[in-house]
Amino acid sequence: QVQVMESGGGSAQAGGSLRLSCATVPETQRYCTGWFRQVSGKEREGIAFIARNRRITYVDSVKGRFTISQDDASSPLFLQMNDLKPEDTAKYYCAADLTPRAADCGWARLDRHATWGQGTEVTVSS
């Protein structure tokens, strides 16, 4: 069974940077991958998505600050987070759909079909 594993969380000061990584074990083609975050007691928020064809989308709150990237669809996925703000504090999850589908790569597809990681904590202090 394929597992999704995140790493790279931690603490940063406001204005600082962190980079999260996500990998599938064993290495597996991902057709749609995304980063989500959740604050305790609040709904999970999808923040960045990348399709196998490299089409990328971001939620407005992270545009211009966060960058999702991967060399190819089976290599590790990264989320470079710059200019961090205290409101970025959350548990961050990687989610990957390992099956090709016609649906667009985004929150709805991953919410329904993804394999999820355990999450990694990010804390940003002011």
Instruction: Please state, in angstroms and rounded to a whole number, the distance separating the CA atoms of residues 32 and 55.
Output: 9
Nearest to 57 by CA among 66, 70, 48, 67: 48
pLDDT average, residue stretch 56-74: 96
In this predicted model, what pLDDT tens digit does every residue of 7-52 receive, in sequence order? 999 999 999 999 999 999 999 999 999 999 999 999 999 999 999 9
DSSP characters over 19-67: EEEEEEES----SEEEEEEE-TTS--EEEEEEETT--EEE-GGGTTTEE
Q: What is the pLDDT of residue 86?
A: 97
In this predicted model, what pLDDT tens digit does every residue of 71-117 receive, in sequence order? 999 999 999 999 999 999 999 999 999 999 999 999 999 999 999 99
Q: What is the pLDDT of residue 18?
A: 98
Given pLDDT bands bounded at 50, 70 and 90, which one contains residue 121?
A: very high
Q: What is the pLDDT of residue 48?
A: 98
Residue 78: beta bridge partners?
21, 69
Q: What is the pLDDT of residue 35?
A: 98
Task: List b or e across 25-56, with b for residues whose CB sees 16 or more CB atoms inside 10 angstroms.
Answer: eeeeebbbbbbbbeeeeeeeebbbbbbbeeee
Q: What is the pLDDT of residue 123?
A: 98
State the CB neighbour count (10 A cutoff) for residue 117.
21
